[in-house]
Amino acid sequence: MIVEEALSRATRRLAEAGVETARLDARLLLASIDGMSASAVLLDPGRVLAADVESAFDRLVDRRARREPVSRILGRREFWSLDFAISLATLDPRPDSETLVEAALTQFEPEPRRRVLDLGTGTGCLLLSVLSERPKWVGLGIDIAEEAVAVARANARTLELSERAHFQTGDWDKGLVGTFDLILSNPPYIPSSEIAGLSPEVASFDPLRALDGGADGLDAYRALAPALLRLLAPQGRAVIELGKGQVAEIAGIMEAAGLRALERRQDLAGVERCLVLGHPVP
Ligand SMILES: C[S@@+](CC[C@H](N)C(=O)[O-])C[C@H]1O[C@@H](n2cnc3c(N)ncnc32)[C@H](O)[C@@H]1O
């Protein structure tokens, strides 16, 4: 079979399975196979596929037809133009979360050294993206999932940031001492009853503990509010992610705990995705 036939057949199969980006996904999967490449797939439609490439492609298309995301099949996701390994224990990082990185970078001058904390670090994508832009800053990432912490550490090594980025397993702020200039957090915020109705790519493949925010989606924010107050340096900033329509309630939870909501930021779809918090002016 030639490239074009294989792509057309896979595209039909994925479209029938409800995959919206069927042609693109078929191309990405074919290009990922050993011996293939993006240019072979795009520029050489008449190329004859070896039998082992054809059967490897069939296996990948089977997985995608069961709605496993391409990023999970490949085990990688690009975030902030960096390459992150992902695993079953980590959230698949979302482009929306880049809003937090943008907001974080505008809070301080690049120098001097700042201490950064990332609560619920997953792949480490938020912390590592910020540190990649700020060579003097150092950081700590915390996650309750030990396997996620191992993935974050591996990502720090690959990105050559392990000297400045450390990771440990923990339950939010338990056991943490000292203060931090910048605290990042993208906590789970989906109301429990809504998870089953999400797309299969999310509901069946992202870890539940990365999604489930309890009955109203806000449990983690209630836990985080006193933690942020305690751990934030006097002039520090917390930059947290929000679900759609949650900004007013979350700002209320944070202000009731004694923090001040300083700034809201929208993601590229116009959703208020990020809240910047600080201590009240004395
Ligand atoms: C929405 S994911 C965010 C992951 C990553 N920061 C990102 O933006 O892609 C939330 C993360 O919080 C972690 N988490 C959930 N409950 C936690 C807790 N009590 N303490 C620490 N981390 C927790 C989950 O394991 C998950 O990795």
**282 confidence band (pLDDT: 50, 70, 90):** low
> What would the pLDDT profile of 223-246 be if each residue is shown by its tens digit?
999 999 999 999 999 999 999 999
> What would the pLDDT profile of 136-154 be if each residue is shown by its tens digit?
999 999 999 999 999 999 9
Residue 164 in this model has a pLDDT that exceeds 70: yes
The answer to whether 126 and 97 are in contact (CB under 8 A) is yes
> What would the pLDDT profile of 45-67 be if each residue is shown by its tens digit?
999 999 999 999 999 999 999 99
Residue 74 in this model has a pLDDT that exceeds 80: yes
Q: Which CATH homologous superfamily contains domain 77-278?
A: Vaccinia Virus protein VP39 (3.40.50.150)
Distances (CA, A) of 181 to 22, 102, 219, 238: 44, 16, 24, 8
Mutate to test the pocket of ligand 1, among 186, 218, 221, 239 (most ligand atoms within 8 A of CB): 186
Q: What is the pLDDT of residue 117?
A: 98
Q: Provide residues with CB under 6 Å of ligand 1.
A: 91, 93, 97, 120-123, 125-126, 142-145, 148, 171-172, 186-188, 209-210
Q: What is the pLDDT of residue 40?
A: 85
**197 confidence band (pLDDT: 50, 70, 90):** very high
Residue 25 in this model has a pLDDT that exceeds 90: yes
Residue identifier of the C-alpha nearest atom 18 of ligand 1 = 171
* CATH 1.10.8 intervals, the chain: 3-66
Mutate to test the pocket of ligand 1, among 143, 153, 183, 273 (most ligand atoms within 8 A of CB): 143
Fold of 3-66: Helicase, Ruva Protein; domain 3 (1.10.8)
Going from the Cα of 249 to the center of ligand 1, the distance in angstroms, rounded, reads 20
* CATH 3.40.50.150 intervals, the chain: 77-278
Going from the Cα of 121 to the center of ligand 1, the distance in angstroms, rounded, reads 6
Q: What is the pLDDT of residue 281?
A: 76
Residue 249 in this model has a pLDDT that exceeds 80: yes
Going from the Cα of 224 to the center of ligand 1, the distance in angstroms, rounded, reads 12
